[in-house]
Amino acid sequence: MRFSYAESMTDPSFYGPLARAAEEAGYDSMVIPDSICYPRDADSRYPYNPDGTREFLEDKPFLEPFSLIPALGAVTSRLRFTTFVVKVPVRNPVLLAKQATSTAVLTGNRLVLGVGTSPWREDYDVLGVDWANRGRRLDESIAILRGLAGGGYLEHHGEIYDVPAIKIAPVPTEPIPVLIGGHADAALRRAARLGDGWMHGGGDPADLPVLLARLAEFRRQAAGDRSPREFEVHVISMDAYTVDGVRRLEEQGVTDVIVGFRWPYATGPDTEPLSRKLDNLRRFADAVIAKT
């Protein structure tokens, strides 16, 4: 089992010390969320917190992941950084490929690209992108990203994007893992068909076994189309906070658990001091990571 440390919407000056401490304590990864803007007027609901409200995001400090990750990579040497998740369809895929490959190069192949479609329709509206074809945009974007990240020229002529023969440099020496986020069957199928793994978004704990079973079924269906490959399964679960619970998750095929130590959906600023955050991540490492 691998362990990912989650901290977000906090004082930006905390991230460097937290990343260093997480690496020293034995965590494998740190998850880095993505949020573009906060519209004054919105109807969208958030699918992963209990009441669907989005007020917890207002005025929270959200750093752009391809800016933050290289800074954290510079103060660590082993820790992976997993975007959780980048809202791909609202981005130009060639620009996304340039950002991702540069970040992977600067961190020595320590970028894991978690991707999704975004639950916020307002992200699409403000950036002038069609909401209805977001799934097709994501599929084509993944193909363009992988093609450009592999080096050499890529030419892509799809339903959404038309890219002439281009290449970018530098590119990382290893493929960038692409993990698909989302709980809908479309997301689970996409993960099984295209992804190097799946990212669970939280929500009702009772849903996780059902999601894992659906994912396993879609992976079996997709197995005939692809050669066997390593597949990462990242989840949020209270079982991750005990040694016995970690073993139960392993038995269900989970490869990575995401752990955090404060309720992320509270409205208002994060008032927890850096010292308490450091104590919490180290305490968990001693109680669970060191014993698994």
CA atoms of 262 and 11, how far apart (whole Å)? 14
Examine the pLDDT at 244 and tell me if it is beyond 90. Answer: yes
- Going by pLDDT thresholds of 50, 70 and 90, the confidence category of residue 81 is very high
Q: What is the pLDDT of residue 226?
A: 59
Q: Which fold has domain 2-291?
A: TIM Barrel (3.20.20)
Distance of CA 45 to the CA centre of its chain: 20
State the alpha helices, DSSP H only, in 8-161.
15-25, 65-73, 93-106, 121-127, 134-149
Q: Give me the mean pLDDT over the 232-256 stretch.
A: 98
What proportion of the chain, given as a percentage, has pLDDT over 70?
Answer: 99
Q: What percent of the chain has pLDDT over 90?
A: 88
| pTM given for the model | 0.95
Instruction: Calculate mean pLDDT across residues 160-164.
Output: 98
Asked if 191 and 215 count as a contact pair (C-beta separation under 8 A), the reply is yes
Instruction: Report the mean per-residue pLDDT for the chain.
Output: 95
Q: Which of 26-30, 41-45, 247-251, 270-274 is least confident? A: 41-45
Asked which of 20-34, 99-113, 149-163, 215-229 is least confident by mean pLDDT, the reply is: 215-229
The residue among 78, 50, 68 whose CA lies nearest residue 265 is: 50
